[in-house]
Amino acid sequence: MSLVIAPAVAAPTVPRGVRLGYGVGSFCTATFGSVPGLLLLFYMTNFLAVPAWLAGVVVTAPKVWDLVINPLVGRWSDRTVSRLGPRRPWLLAGACTLPIAFFLVFAGPPLTGVPAALYVGGCFMAAATAYSLFEVPYKTMPAEMTDDYHERTSLLQWRMVFVGAATAIAGVAAPAIVNSQGESGTLASYRLMGAVIAVVLLAAMLGSFFGTARAPMTGAPEPDTGSLFKQFAVVRGNKPFIWLTALSCTQQLAVAIMLAAAPYFATYTIGDPRATTTLFAALVVPMMLTMPLWTWLSKRFDKRNAMIMAAAAFAGGTALAMATPIFGGWYAHVMILLVGTGVAGVTLLQFSMLADVIAVDARSTGKRRAGVFTGLWTAIESGVSAFGALILGGILSIGGFLSSVANQRVEQPDSAVTAVLIGQTAVPALIILLSVAMTLRYQLRDPKRAAAAAVPDATA
């Protein structure tokens, strides 16, 4: 039986200034989500002589910490009483800590091997904690800005345009800065990249803090005062939330594997390390251009069916990219454009569906626990997606990939080159197809569509 989102009594329109102010925060979430996933594994294996399997562990371990810190930050923000509201003080806290921690990840002492892995892992752990202070309250806010089913998608469309722009800038600019001092970069160029991205993070987080000062608050006024374990029990019993979390984690895992594999794919499959930049551009440009399309499709066919379409485009483009060794780099870029179109759709709809789940819970219980929902969702999603680097590291190790230090070129065995291709294409394609089956179990529906379906045909 499908669950129906009850129509709201009033649907306040979020002012354009607030939409812009909220959207600019995506320069933080998109940048921190993409740059480490794109460059950190490669940086450790090819510049710090960290074995691929250990580098995968280093990238994964701090993100697993999110399973602890994100729900706690969500609960703290739910219970925060401040003239700034329950969420915005945490945006400011993240702005004061994340840029410094991020810079230190790429600005360490001259270490290699295990010592380098320990240093990078510690700094990345601190960065992940600081990011949680901002991310969880930030992602909670759309569910509390409006009660309207489709306005939430419209609001998040603005956010996703900023995500696309930020991901394009960060994903193109970060590799460009790295490669500015050599074809594959230098330690100095990585440090410069870390400093530039840290400034971008600071500007985006402060912009969102000040830009959401007039954001409406339509969520439940009273925080849930139950224990954390009792709140988890309530969340565990929310079937739409469980299925949404499962399918979004599956999708994010596929994206994470692709991001981690991109520099290797450009270097060893296409044969040009600089193609990392253009591949990333091909992935994120559709995010800026296709948001109106996915918003229209979600209204025309409902969010669940639009999600299936988006996942199918994602899986199809990824699978077809396996033919890159035959057709060359141009073909890979065309397929990544198709992948990017699918990624745009699934990302928009993930957040829109999460906002629906939170709004329904607040309306039915009268309790404010949006932070707990968002914290748990982001924690699980982050922990699962972090396994992308770990999985790729394992695939590369099985393929016999040879690590190296800066300025040292190593001829990779054919098995390692094949492992790179599989990690970029076949594995993500299979994972994203699994999410399609999960999407079929998601049951929240458009209230107007459900009401129309429930009215008997007068001509029958």
At 30 the pLDDT is 83
At 191-203, the pLDDT tens digits run: 999 999 999 999 9
Please return the burial class of 239, using the count of CB atoms within 10 Å of its CB with bins 0-12, 13-18 and 19+: middle
Does 133 score more than 50 pLDDT?
A: yes
At 456 the pLDDT is 46
Q: What does the pLDDT average to over 273-298?
A: 85
Residue 219 — very low, low, confident or very high, per pLDDT cuts 50/70/90? low
At 206 the pLDDT is 95
Q: What does the pLDDT average to over 211-222?
A: 73
- Which residue's entry shows tokens 């993930």? 350
At 406 the pLDDT is 60
Distance, CA of 350 to CA of 372 (rounded, Å): 17
Distance, CA of 274 to CA of 279 (rounded, Å): 9
Q: What does the pLDDT average to over 157-162?
A: 77
Calculate the average pLDDT of the chain. Answer: 83
Taken in order 173, 175, 178, 180, is the CA torsion positive or negative?
negative
At 228 the pLDDT is 62
Residue 460 — very low, low, confident or very high, per pLDDT cuts 50/70/90? very low
Report phi then psi at 408, rounded to 5. Answer: -115, 120
Burial 375-405 (b: 16+ CB within 10 A, else e): bbbbbbbbbbbbbbbbbbbbbbbebebebbe
Does 258 score more than 50 pLDDT?
A: yes
Distance, CA of 305 to CA of 297 (rounded, Å): 8
At 184 the pLDDT is 64
Residue 378 — very low, low, confident or very high, per pLDDT cuts 50/70/90? confident
At 327-372, the pLDDT tens digits run: 999 999 999 999 999 998 998 888 888 888 887 877 777 777 778 8
* 276, two tokens: 């990392």
Report phi then psi at 377, rounded to 5. Answer: -65, -50
Residue 2 — very low, low, confident or very high, per pLDDT cuts 50/70/90? very low
Of 107-111, 215-219, 296-300, 422-426, which one has max mean pLDDT?
A: 422-426
Does 458 score more than 70 pLDDT?
A: no
Torsion of CA 299, 303, 309, 313, to 10 degrees: 100
Higher pLDDT, 152 or 112: 112
Task: Check: CB of residue 259 under 8 Å from CB of residue 103.
Answer: no
Burial 180-193 (b: 16+ CB within 10 A, else e): eeeebbbbebbbbb
| Residue 69 region by backbone torsions, left for phi larger than 0, else alpha for psi between -120 and 50, else beta | alpha
Does 243 score more than 50 pLDDT?
A: yes
At 418 the pLDDT is 93
CA dist list (Å): 146 to 61, 156, 279, 336, 353: 36, 11, 36, 34, 13
Task: Check: CB of residue 72 under 8 Å from CB of residue 136.
Answer: no
Q: What does the pLDDT average to over 136-145?
A: 85
Q: What does the pLDDT average to over 96-124?
A: 91
Report field, pTM of the whole predicted structure over 0.85:
no
Residue 84: other Cβ atoms inside 10 A: 14
Residue 127 — very low, low, confident or very high, per pLDDT cuts 50/70/90? very high
Does 430 score more than 90 pLDDT?
A: yes
Does 455 score more than 60 pLDDT?
A: no
CA dist list (Å): 255 to 154, 181, 285, 381, 448: 24, 28, 15, 12, 33
At 11 the pLDDT is 47
At 291 the pLDDT is 85
Report phi then psi at 227, rounded to 5. Answer: -65, 160
At 6 the pLDDT is 45
Candidates 53, 41, 49; CA nearest to 105 is 41
Q: What does the pLDDT average to over 106-111?
A: 85
* Least confident stretch, 88-92, 244-248, 267-271: 244-248
DSSP codes, 124-159: HHHHHHHHHHHHHHHHHHHHHH---HHHHHHHHHHH
Distance, CA of 313 to CA of 281 (rounded, Å): 17
At 226 the pLDDT is 59
Residue 221 — very low, low, confident or very high, per pLDDT cuts 50/70/90? low
Does 439 score more than 80 pLDDT?
A: yes
Helices 426-439, 414-424: axis angle to 10 degrees equals 20
CA 296 to chain centre: 22
Q: What does the pLDDT average to over 86-94?
A: 92
Task: Check: CB of residue 256 under 8 Å from CB of residue 427.
Answer: no
At 227 the pLDDT is 63
| Residue 457 region by backbone torsions, left for phi larger than 0, else alpha for psi between -120 and 50, else beta | beta
